[in-house]
Amino acid sequence: MRTVRFTAYWLMSMLLPVVAAAQTDLITNIPGRHTTSLDGAWQYIVDPYETGFYDYRYKERKETDREAYWNSDVPDNKTDRKEHGYINKYTLKVPGDWNWQDAKFTYYEGTVWYKKSFNYQKQQAGNKVFLYFGAVNYRADVYLNGKKLGMHKGGFTPFNFEIPDSVLKAQDNFLVVKVDNKRYADEIPTLNTDWWNYGGITRSVQLVELAGAAAIRDYLIQLKPGTSDVVEGWVKLNNSAAHETVTIEIPELKIKKQVTATGNMARVSFSLPAFERWSPETPKLYEVSIATAADHVTEKIGFRSVAVQGEQLLLNGKRIFLRGISIHGEIPQQVRRAYSYADALQLLGWAKELGCNMVRLAHYPHDETMTRLADSLGLLVWSEIPVYWTIDFTSAAVLAKAKEQLHEMITRDRNRASIIIWSVGNETPVTPARTNFMKTLLETARANDPTRLVSAALEVNYQSEKKLRVIDDPLGKYVDVVAFNQYLGWYGGTTPEYCRTAQWATIYKKPLFISETGAEAVGGFHADSLTIFSEEYQEWYYREQVAMLKRMPSNFTGISPWILADFRSPRRNNPRYQEGWNNKGVIDQQGRKKKAFFVLKEYYKEISEK
């Protein structure tokens, strides 16, 4: 029996719990902080030529340049020429992508300047104020009162900047964010994706106020791998004094522990008395309190273990089968990015109705409301960064960007019990450069968080006429769970009856997981089962897939079909059946369940009752 061991990675994490990167020194547990929301209507300027950023010689404007769009648009006098302005005639909702808010933005890829005015009075003199963004797609340049706070790349992960006291005013702060969602070959994701490139400030914006000294910035409070009742982790402080005392309490379990910080880090280790483990059946969360003399935060945390033993996946020491579904962060009925609690409740509610105990949040980190609600609902989570298809695997700079997004994803959600797998990518082509690239990301994920498993969705050849299809991608050597995408019966000139003789195996003695499978169907289009794009064809596809799944080898540990709901994609251009939509959802564009939904639901019910 092979047991995954995390000891070395646990030590690495304790020694270096974050990856060095200036703008990713994240504050975590934003819902548990003193915050002021900047959500709502923001004024905007559409700037496809980036005139507000570059002068007429295409040189970046100086910070004091009066024509820079981050500076005031108010003329000093009648003769003061201003060629930009922010007015209430042009506003966008934050959070929210710009594509769904005005028809002129539907296909827009470029720069939009957002502006928000606000007043702010500190709760206490000496406190530090940070500007926190849940996500901005893709590049964000942030300016406050004409001063640049910083720049961030990555469309699905959070970032924050400290606001200097010399910049923040009590009245009439002028906040400007240059948002650019253009695609580039050397970014993550790259030029080519199978989802819509929604632009804008897509998640909430908050002002976060922390104590000036001994503020709690980040922490890990989780079960130590390989144990059943030992909590081991750390608390990272901001500007702590020597020998700062940190108190950790779990009132329901009558636990109160005090530890002394060394520098800005306090190490945490204690045993839990009899407690209820978090699981899909009983998603128990305990209120955990962390305090210093100057700061105090609380958060609901579940305690559970996840491991691989031989060819089996174990949750709390028992084998588990993942009844999953893949999900895009999109609300199909309104054709927009998901961002709210109501959105998360719709998407995860559909997954629960389907009979899922697991969701694959593809192909990027979803809004934090999704992972927090998954904790409460008891849904296991696969969380992924958008290392997708054909990025430049030979570039050290691209690797650095991928590592940064991976770190930001893990930092935000490392205390979520629901997340059991960090994924470092999807359907990447097999080359030595790619395998080294992905191996480095897997090692980075383990170093950042040794309490979870790591994987990636591999691609297989479903065109083969061979009955036995073997997963032998060299990346399988380094993952904890061998996951693969297969569309036997949809792509490669195959039809669903190809599933009847197909068998699957892997050369790696590890759990085997199908991370995608599916076929398109237009909701409400009915025909015989041989008619492609009909609900009946998709239903047939799923019936043949289910029959094949029942013949899978003993290490088969679950499936997350593609996909919960139809979603927008510029690659899907059949004028009759697609019109810019990928219709592989088991729920259609109007939120109606297709016939395949009930085939999958029946299969999951059968499994859960065994």
Structure confidence by residue, pLDDT tens digits, 480-511 = 999 999 999 999 889 999 999 999 999 999 99
Cβ atoms of 335 and 582 closer than 8 Å: no
Joined together, the tokens standing for residue 510 give 């590890």
Averaged pLDDT of the chain: 94
Q: What is d(CA 552, CA 471) in angstroms, rounded to the nearest whole number?
A: 13
- The pLDDT score that the predictor gives to residue 459 is 87
- The pLDDT score that the predictor gives to residue 241 is 72
% of the chain residues with pLDDT over 90: 91
Other CB atoms within 10 A of residue 54 CB? 14
Q: How confident is the model at residue 467 (pLDDT cuts 50, 70, 90)?
A: confident
Q: Letter for the amino acid at 72?
A: S
E-strand ranges in 512-588 read 512-516, 556-559, 567-568, 581-582
- The pLDDT score that the predictor gives to residue 4 is 40
Nearest Cα residue to 329 out of 299, 370, 293, 300: 370
Q: What angle do CA 385, 36, 21 make, to 5 degrees?
A: 35
Q: Letter for the amino acid at 9?
A: Y
Residue 117, strand partner residues: 174
pLDDT in tens, 91-102: 999 999 999 999
Angle formed by the axes of helices 7-15 and 432-448, nearest 10°:
70
For 332, left (φ over 0), alpha (ψ -120 to 50), or beta? alpha
pLDDT in tens, 314-356: 999 999 999 999 999 999 999 999 999 999 999 999 999 999 9
Cβ atoms of 315 and 420 closer than 8 Å: yes
Residue 289, strand partner residues: 249, 298
Q: How confident is the model at residue 240 (pLDDT cuts 50, 70, 90)?
A: confident
- Give the mean model confidence (pLDDT) for residues 255-262: 95
Q: What is the 3-state secondary structure (H, E, C) of 359-425?
A: EEECCCCCCHHHHHHHHHHCCEEEEECCCECCCCCCCHHHHHHHHHHHHHHHHHHCCCCCEEEEEEE
User: Is the pLDDT score of 14 beyond 90?
Assistant: no
- The pLDDT score that the predictor gives to residue 1 is 37
pLDDT in tens, 47-91: 999 999 999 999 999 999 999 999 999 999 999 999 999 999 999
Q: Letter for the amino acid at 264?
A: N
Determine how β-strand 255-260 pairs with β-strand 215-223. Answer: unpaired
For 220, left (φ over 0), alpha (ψ -120 to 50), or beta? beta
User: Is the pLDDT score of 393 beyond 90?
Assistant: yes
Q: What is d(CA 416, CA 250) in angstroms, rounded to the nearest whole number?
A: 16
- Give the mean model confidence (pLDDT) for residues 26-54: 97
Q: Report the sign of the C-alpha dihedral through residues 446, 452, 457, 458, in that order.
A: positive
- The pLDDT score that the predictor gives to residue 13 is 38
User: Is the pLDDT score of 311 beyond 70?
Assistant: yes
% of the chain residues with pLDDT over 70: 95
- The pLDDT score that the predictor gives to residue 59 is 95
- The pLDDT score that the predictor gives to residue 504 is 94
Of 237-251, 274-288, 530-544, least confident by mean pLDDT is 237-251
Determine how β-strand 556-559 pairs with β-strand 512-516. Answer: parallel
Q: What is the 3-state secondary structure (H, E, C) of 215-269?
A: EEEEEEEEECCCCCCEEEEEEEEECCCCCCEEEEEEHHHCEEEEEECECCEEEEE
Q: Reduced to 3 states, what is the DSSP secondary structure of residue 500?
A: helix
pLDDT in tens, 155-207: 999 999 999 999 999 999 999 999 999 999 999 999 999 999 999 999 999 99
pTM, 2 dp: 0.94
Other CB atoms within 10 A of residue 202 CB? 26
pLDDT in tens, 119-128: 999 999 999 9
- The pLDDT score that the predictor gives to residue 239 is 80
Count CA atoms within 13 Å of residue 311 on its CB side: 10
Residue 458, strand partner residues: 484
Q: Report DSSP state, residue 145.
A: T
Residue 201: φ, ψ to 5°: -85, 90
Count CA atoms within 13 Å of residue 220 on its CB side: 26
Residue 431: φ, ψ to 5°: -145, 160
- The pLDDT score that the predictor gives to residue 175 is 98
DSSP assignment string, 289-302: EEE-SS-EEEEEE-
